[in-house]
Homo-oligomer: A and B are copies of this chain.
Amino acid sequence: MLELAILGFLYDAPLHGYVLRRHIAALTGHVRPVAESTLYPAIKRLEKAGLLVRASEPGAVAAPRHVLRLTEEGGRELMRRLAEPAQREITDENHWFTLLAFLRHLADPAAQAAVLRRRLAFLEEPASFFYEGDRPLSAEELDDPFRRGVLTIARATSRAELAWLRDTLASLDRVGR
């Protein structure tokens, strides 16, 4: 998730670590903050894997900074991660939102649609959070107001997302024809 965000931001423009950090904080920081001690090692990992290069530059304001630039291999890796996300990226909202934030980088509308269809298939599966045996329970069947809240909120999210997915898939199909 973090690596995807790094690759996604750098695909737009080279950045140095500090600005990248602020971009990531804006994207997901209110929900799931990323520590500096997580970001810098992640950058080094990606550098070691040949996905980005660092160039030292005199600091505009303070200490010298390392401008990060995607390599060609880094661009290809971003495309792979966008086009063939792991199942976790599809099911976990945090991961999914990060993926959506950069899905526009995938040039082919058919490839974009294929990813959306995976999410659609996931949302269309009958799934709950609470069961009686194997039978999913609906909000109305629960006495617990907090568990009822979970289902109420999840249902509202699901409805909004299904509507958006169907709309967006329809318009991607129009482009693809």
A residues in contact (CB < 8 Å) with B: 26-28, 30-32, 88, 91-94, 97, 100-101, 103-104, 112, 125, 127-131, 144-147, 149-150, 152-157, 159-161, 164-165, 168, 171
Copies of this subunit:
2
A/B interface sample: 7 pairs, CB < 8 A: A26-B131, A92-B94, A100-B150, A101-B150, A145-B168, A153-B161, A153-B164
Q: How far is A131 from B26 in the complex, measured between Cα atoms in Å?
A: 7
- Look across to chain B and name the residue whose beta carbon is closest to the beta carbon of A126: B30
Inter-subunit contact B157/A30 (CB<8 Å):
no
Q: Which residues of B contact A88 (CB under 8 A)?
A: 32
Inter-subunit contact A146/B27 (CB<8 Å):
no
Q: A156-B156, A164-B153, A168-B145 are in contact. Are A30 and B97 (CB under 8 A)?
A: no
- Look across to chain B and name the residue whose beta carbon is closest to the beta carbon of A165: B149
Inter-subunit contact A147/B104 (CB<8 Å):
yes
- Look across to chain B and name the residue whose beta carbon is closest to the beta carbon of A100: B146
Q: How far is A149 from B157 in the complex, measured between Cα atoms in Å?
A: 12
Pick from B32, B145, B153, B168: contact of A160, CB under 8 Å: B153
Inter-subunit contact B97/A150 (CB<8 Å):
yes
Inter-subunit contact A104/B144 (CB<8 Å):
yes
Q: How far is A51 from B146 in the complex, measured between Cα atoms in Å?
A: 25
